[in-house]
């Protein structure tokens, strides 16, 4: 098999649910976001994590004075950082007890796996550093390369602190999510060791100013996270869904009706269970379309309206 043949899948990839986004680069970007979204959907507890990390990363990048193109790239890195988790078995990904050393070693392969998955992709250069290095630590105890502060790319420092904050403030089957102030106290304490001092101090300041209030506990703009009252995981709700829409728990299969009460979205059990067709995971194609369009406006190095990708590289 010729080398180029290995990468044919990048150019043939089509998601039938996505509308025509108006260009080769836009469709390549949509294919990446779709893959990331599907990786996230494997874990019923992590709904909205990629959207939130992406939002935090963009706001933090803007806060520290980066230009639009870098802010968009950091945002994209937030969405794609855990792509390599597709290779981690569910039994390890969803384990609620402490991981054994050998299981932790498998988890630690996901950054390199993510980079390998993107090898040859025309847009890989935008986010490879975020994917490979988001678990590096300034004290050199991170992975996979045990980089020190000065060697960690900025995009990885930003995504790293945003990812950790979201993990701490999210519900897990074995613990409740922390309050943002509690997570910020931990980030402040670990600044310079686990987190970049510069970016973590800015992140904490932004959180204390309330700039993340419409992101923490949301899975999309204006969509507060809903959880299954029967078994706990996140219920995926699309912004376009209106009152009366049916949503399903992908863990226990229960069906819920979407309602609004006093301006807030609520879910009410119908007492029915979803069938195989209803329990299929559907890509939130409108969320991905909106994300691509927002990124396209900020990434002038990409030609989103021609038949050829015009990516010309970036700095870390
Ligand atoms: Fe990760």
Residue 133 CB-half CA count within 13 A: 25
| Per-chain residues with Cβ under 5 A from ion ligand 1 | 82
| Percent of the chain scoring above 70 in pLDDT | 87
| Cα of 271 from ligand 1 centre, angstroms | 37
Rounded mean pLDDT of 245-271? 87
| Cα of 256 from ligand 1 centre, angstroms | 31
| Cα of 108 from ligand 1 centre, angstroms | 8
Per CATH, is 22-222+283-298 categorized as 3.20.20.70? no
Give the bridge partners for 217, in sequence order. Answer: none
| Cα of 175 from ligand 1 centre, angstroms | 19
Asked whether the predicted pLDDT for residue 309 surpasses 90, the reply is no
| Cα of 82 from ligand 1 centre, angstroms | 5
| Cα of 163 from ligand 1 centre, angstroms | 8
* CA distance linking residue 234 with residue 177, whole number of Å: 13
| Cα of 248 from ligand 1 centre, angstroms | 27
Residue with tokens 């993107």: 118
Q: What is the pLDDT of residues 154-169, one digit of tens each?
A: 999 999 999 999 999 9
| Cα of 267 from ligand 1 centre, angstroms | 31
| Cα of 258 from ligand 1 centre, angstroms | 32
| Cα of 62 from ligand 1 centre, angstroms | 23
Q: What is the pLDDT of residues 180-222, one digit of tens each?
A: 999 999 999 999 999 999 999 999 999 999 999 999 998 888 8
pLDDT range class, residue 62, cuts 50, 70, 90 = very high
Rounded mean pLDDT of 35-49? 84
| Cα of 44 from ligand 1 centre, angstroms | 17
| Cα of 135 from ligand 1 centre, angstroms | 6
* CA distance linking residue 283 with residue 269, whole number of Å: 23
| Cα of 134 from ligand 1 centre, angstroms | 7
Reference 315, options 144, 135, 155; nearest CA is 155
Q: Is 110 left (phi over 0), alpha (psi -120 to 50) or beta?
A: alpha
Rounded mean pLDDT of 16-29? 63
Domain residue extents for the chain? 22-222+283-298
Rounded mean pLDDT of 290-307? 70
> Can you say whether the dihedral through the CA atoms of 15, 19, 23, 25 is positive or negative?
negative
| Cα of 157 from ligand 1 centre, angstroms | 12
| Cα of 84 from ligand 1 centre, angstroms | 8
| Cα of 212 from ligand 1 centre, angstroms | 21
What pLDDT sits at residue 4? 37
Q: What is the pLDDT of residues 89-136, one digit of tens each?
A: 989 988 888 899 999 999 999 999 999 999 988 889 999 999 999 999
């Amino acid at each position: 098999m010729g080398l180029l043949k290995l990468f044919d899948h990048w150019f043939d990839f089509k998601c039938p649910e996505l509308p025509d986004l108006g260009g080769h680069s836009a469709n390549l970007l949509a294919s990446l976001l779709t893959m990331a979204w599907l990786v996230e959907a494997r874990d019923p507890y992590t709904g909205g994590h990629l959207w939130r990390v992406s939002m935090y990363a963009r706001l933090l990048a803007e806060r520290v004075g980066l230009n639009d193109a870098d802010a968009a790239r950091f945002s994209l890195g937030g969405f794609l950082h855990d792509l390599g988790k597709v290779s981690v078995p569910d039994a390890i990904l969803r384990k609620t007890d402490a991981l054994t050393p050998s299981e932790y070693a498998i988890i630690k392969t996901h950054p390199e796996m993510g980079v390998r998955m993107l090898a040859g992709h025309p847009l890989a250069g935008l986010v490879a550093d975020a994917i490979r290095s988001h678990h590096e630590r300034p004290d050199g105890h991170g992975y996979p390369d045990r980089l020190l502060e000065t060697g960690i790319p900025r995009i990885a420092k930003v995504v790293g602190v945003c990812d950790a904050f979201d993990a701490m403030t999210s519900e897990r089957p074995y613990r409740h999510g922390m309050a943002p102030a509690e997570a910020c106290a931990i980030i402040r304490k670990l600044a310079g060791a686990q987190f970049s001092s510069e970016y973590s101090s800015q992140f904490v300041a932004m959180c204390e100013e309330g700039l993340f209030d419409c992101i923490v506990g949301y899975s999309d703009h204006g969509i507060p996270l809903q959880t299954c009252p029967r078994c706990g995981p996140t219920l995926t709700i699309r912004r376009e869904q209106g009152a009366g829409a049916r949503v399903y728990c992908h863990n226990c299969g229960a069906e819920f009706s979407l309602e609004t009460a006093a301006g807030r979205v609520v879910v009410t059990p119908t007492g029915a269970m979803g069938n195989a067709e209803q329990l299929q995971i559907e890509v939130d194609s409108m969320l991905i379309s909106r994300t691509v369009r927002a990124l396209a406006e900020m990434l002038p190095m990409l030609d989103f309206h021609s038949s050829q990708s015009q990516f010309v590289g970036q700095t870390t």
